[in-house]
Amino acid sequence: MFLRVVQSRDLVLRGHGVQVDDGTLLVNLGFGIGLHRAIRAASLTDDDFAPSELAMELLFLHEANRGVLTELSRFNAQLAQSHELAVLQAQTDALTGLQNRRGLEVALSMLLRTADSTDEVAQPFAIAHLDLDHFKQVNDQLGHQAGDDLLRAVGAVLRAHIRKADTAARVGGDEFVLILRGMTSKPALLHLAERIIAAIKALSPPELIDLQVTASLGILVWHPGGSDQPEQILAMADKALYLSKGAGRGCATIL
């Protein structure tokens, strides 16, 4: 006898039927080699079977296989999480929690690749190079702990003044870089720079003798068709920064 399950056409019961003396028909059916499919499709357990050797063996194999797949899935999830954490740590500045130089390079390269894609509309952006004025005197007069505290506070200021889609990075010492997506308005950029400069000026330790920590910024506005080399873009922002330094510090220059 062959019986096919209507709701699951790939499941077939096979067996024999025997008529006894009183006319009763005894039928013995089983899934045979299709047992593993039946277990999976109908969520069968050992309670659904007589303890025959084949059924119990297949149930054991099915449970073992499910256990292995569950552990493999969990391991893959942990591996992916560990990889993501390692990448994040490799691109994060440990002191400020901002991106580090590597993180900045990745963000800038990705932005330029998107701009170079024929499938997407190129998005202009501004890149700002910020340097703290008189930061060396903080370390010299107040110690490196005071310098580290100031750098952490500057990092918090930058995070507070940019949007979620923007990037803030500490690229070394007292130097920071901002990537501001879609910002091309010079008045808006100058207003943002003035607010950042004022906020950093307010962080200057009062214990400094005859000096005040300020910030100088150099800003480059990038448009589609501009250089696609991150090094050249950063060099132009650096050039703008030195123009601000030469203009007396504590100000911003836009190229």
Q: Is position 174 annotated as part of the catalytic site?
A: yes
At a CB cut-off of 8 Å and minimum separation 6, what does 160 contact? 199
Q: Could you read off the pLDDT tens digit of each residue along the chain, which spans 255 residues?
A: 878 878 777 788 888 888 888 888 888 877 776 777 777 777 777 677 666 556 666 666 677 678 778 888 887 777 766 666 555 567 899 999 999 999 999 999 888 886 555 556 668 999 999 999 999 999 999 999 999 999 999 999 999 999 999 999 999 999 999 999 999 999 999 999 999 999 999 999 999 988 899 999 999 999 988 898 999 999 999 999 999 999 999 999 999
- Which domains are delineated in the chain? 2-70 (no CATH), 101-254 (3.30.70.270)
pTM (whole model) above 0.75: no
d(CA 242, CA 183): 22
Contact 216, 251 (CB under 8 A): yes
- Of 10, 174, 210, 228, which is the active-site residue? 174
pLDDT at 54: 61
Say what the alpha-carbon torsion angle 139, 245, 176, 125 is, to the nearest 10 degrees.
170
pLDDT of 52: 59
Q: Are strands 12-19 and 2-4 parallel, antiparallel or unpaired?
A: antiparallel
**Residue 224, SS3?**
coil
d(CA 164, CA 181): 10
Give me the helices (H) in 93-206, please.
Answer: 101-116, 135-142, 144-161, 186-201
